[in-house]
Amino acid sequence: MTSYQNVESKVSIIEKKQNKRLVDKAVRGGISCLGIAVVGLMILITLFLAYRGIQLFTRYHHSLGEFLFSSDWAPNDSMEGGGKVGSAVYFVGSILTCGIALLIAAPFSITVSVFISELVPDKTKAFFQMLVEILAGVPSIIYGWMGLTILVPWLKEISGRPHGFSVMAGALVLALMVLPTMITLCKDSYRSVPEAQRLAAYGLGATKFQMIKDVILPTAKTGVFTAFVLGLSRAFGEALAVAMVIGKTRAFPADLLSPTTNLTSAIASDMGGAMEGGEYNAALWAMALSLFVISLVFVFIIGKIGSRGRVND
């Protein structure tokens, strides 16, 4: 009887090992399938955007130079074509608003993340982190509505102009939107600094602020630059909030308090009314393809920054 029980126990152990192998294979197969599906989806999105975006140049025979550098925008909303598709105003509006937003958000993200990561007592650190996470989760429409009801009237009052819709309004809203993401990434990069380097600085007689300036910030600069690029990438893709405050005026801004428009505002507001397959529709798809290419450039830059940081380490 004992011998029979031993055999039965060994068989049970073998069956458990076989079942575990089967489960492992199934999990690996499922993960592989999901990974292939994600890659395939990205390839399909890329091909679809490329197909729709290049029709402006292949079907309606507009040049890339006209699209990028001309400001004459009068596409024909029909299959005949023959209109003007100069999108320079939209590109300039996007670059201005996103660039100014980054200039505003960058110093705040560095200082706030240093404050939360290095200066706040451990008991209250979770509270500040929660506030940042709440800001990151606020919908875009809320930021846009706050900009429309608070920021735009304020800019109108201080500038003495008929309205406050402007590049600055769009940039300030964007800066507020990208700030939580940049703070979180900067804070994570500070945490990655080895504790031994901090202790070594203190051992050499450095103060808290000297340690932050001479150890934390230089060591975490790769992560900080990555945060800036990701913030800029998100700013370029934002549509609704910016469209509510930028003015949607198809003209180069005379100054930062002048209204203008940008790529995402044009796509969001005009795509639904443009005739499918028409020249207007093709021009908007070309804008969408441009944003996609810009996003790929940002991803490439982040990869380069990350690889350079690993080499330096």
What is the per-residue pLDDT for 202? 86
User: Which residues, including other chains, have CB under 8 Å from residue 312's CB and lie 6 or more apart?
Assistant: 222
pLDDT, tens digit, 9 for 90 and up, residues 156-189 = 999 888 899 999 999 999 999 999 999 999 999 9
Tokens of 98: 């996103």
Annotated domain spans of the chain = 2-53, 84-312
Amino acid at 249: T
Quote the longest CA-to-CA distance of the chain: 99
Q: d(Cα 172, Cα 176) in Å, to the nearest integer?
A: 6
Q: How is 216-232 classified by DSSP, letter by letter? A: IHHHTHHHHHHHHHHHH
What is the per-residue pLDDT for 5? 53
What is the per-residue pLDDT for 279? 93
Instruction: Kindly state the average pLDDT of the residues 24-52.
Output: 90
Q: d(Cα 149, Cα 161) in Å, to the nearest integer?
A: 16
pLDDT, tens digit, 9 for 90 and up, residues 197-246 = 888 888 888 888 889 888 899 888 888 998 999 898 888 888 889 999 99
What is the per-residue pLDDT for 122? 82
What is the per-residue pLDDT for 125? 87
Q: How far is CA 265 from CA 61, 193, 262, in A?
A: 25, 40, 6
- CA dihedral (72, 77, 81, 85) in degrees, to 10, reads 20
Instruction: Kindly state the average pLDDT of the residues 271-290.
Output: 92
Place of tokens 């690993």: 310
**pTM reported for the whole predicted model:** 0.85
Cβ–Cβ under 8 Å, residues 209 and 198: no
What is the per-residue pLDDT for 7? 52
Select the CATH number that applies to the domain covering 84-312 from these four: 3.40.50.740, 3.90.226.10, 1.20.810.10, 1.10.3720.10: 1.10.3720.10
